[in-house]
Structure 1
Amino acid sequence: MDPMSLFPGGYVCSRVLGMETEVAIGLHPWERHHERPNRLSVDAEMFVPEGAAGGGIVDYDGVRDLVRGWRGRPHVEVLETLAEELLAECFRDARVAAARVRITKTQIFPEARGAGIEVFRRRKA
């Protein structure tokens, strides 16, 4: 999805890229009973239409704090659970009209740099 198609007047994108954390996550038996949690890389982007009240500056400390807080939490089955939490945090600022989050397990398969999900969502009217 090209955000320019959603914001013909332009936008400001505040982002936090490559946050790293470890979370007990996964459906596979070896993920459920693994001695080490999965290493995750997390990206969050928040799109504010150009000209929004208060400008396009978005405080992304809440996003960072949320991701840091995932370490040590109880086992999570799927990445989508974390993505929904992250999206909710992105939309706490009422000016954020759309958000994109990516969560990647970075050490899941030896033949891949990672496996994960990306979700792009517009604010519900």
Structure 2
Amino acid sequence: MPQIRKTIILRELELMLPIGVYEHEKKAPQRVLISVEATLDGTQDEADQLGGTFDYDRIRDFVKSLERGPHNELQETIARRIIDFLFSNQGVIRAVVETAKPDIFDDGSIVGVRMEADR
């Protein structure tokens, strides 16, 4: 029997977060795009029931709750908080989080962070 892993994916959730190092960034929330991947070990129930997986609504709700959180200077801090949340589910064996600030530069380039963690 093959070992099956599944990855729950949330792509480019747009939030307004209190984030940034510079004074002008601390005056108002900034637009941040967040993508998340949570790979599960395959031991979850395959009975086609929500209780057998990591409900992606919980992931999305947690990420959205960061809009109400404290100011963070670094994107790395946000990514680490999401990774810690993902690993609170015992079935998660790998987490990948990307954050991106699309409005930092005038030339349209986007600056971001990608963090990966394995259990």
User: How would you bin the TM-score normalised by the shorter chain?
Assistant: 0.7 to 0.9
Letter in 2 for 1:22: M
1:48: which partner in 2? Answer: 40
Q: Deviations over 1:79-101 (max 9, x none)?
A: 11111110011112211110100
- For structure 1, which runs of at least 5 residues remain unmatched after alignment? 1-7
What secondary structure, in the 3-state scheme, does the structure 2 residue paired with 1:97 have?
Answer: strand
1:111: which partner in 2? Answer: 107
Q: Deviations over 1:20-60 (max 9, x none)?
A: 1111211123212x3x311010011011234x242473212
Query: In the aligned structure 2, how far is the partner of 1:74 from the partner of 1:47?
Result: 28
For residue 118 of structure 1, report the CA deviation from its aligned partner.
0.5
| Percent of aligned pairs sharing the same letter | 27
For residue 9 of structure 1, report the CA deviation from its aligned partner.
4.2
1:102 is the counterpart of 2:98: yes
CA contact (8 A) 1:22 1:37 kept: yes
1:3: which partner in 2? Answer: none
Aligned length, in residue pairs: 113
Compute the RMSD of aligned alpha carbons.
Answer: 2.0
1:11 is the counterpart of 2:2: no
1:67 is the counterpart of 2:63: yes
1:84: which partner in 2? Answer: 80
CA contact (8 A) 1:27 1:77 kept: yes
CA contact (8 A) 2:54 2:89 kept: yes
Query: In the aligned structure 2, how far is the partner of 1:101 from the partner of 1:20?
Result: 14
Q: 2:14 aligns with which of 8, 17, 20?
A: 20
Letter in 1 for 2:12: G
Query: In the aligned structure 1, how far is the partner of 2:58 from the partner of 2:44?
Result: 20
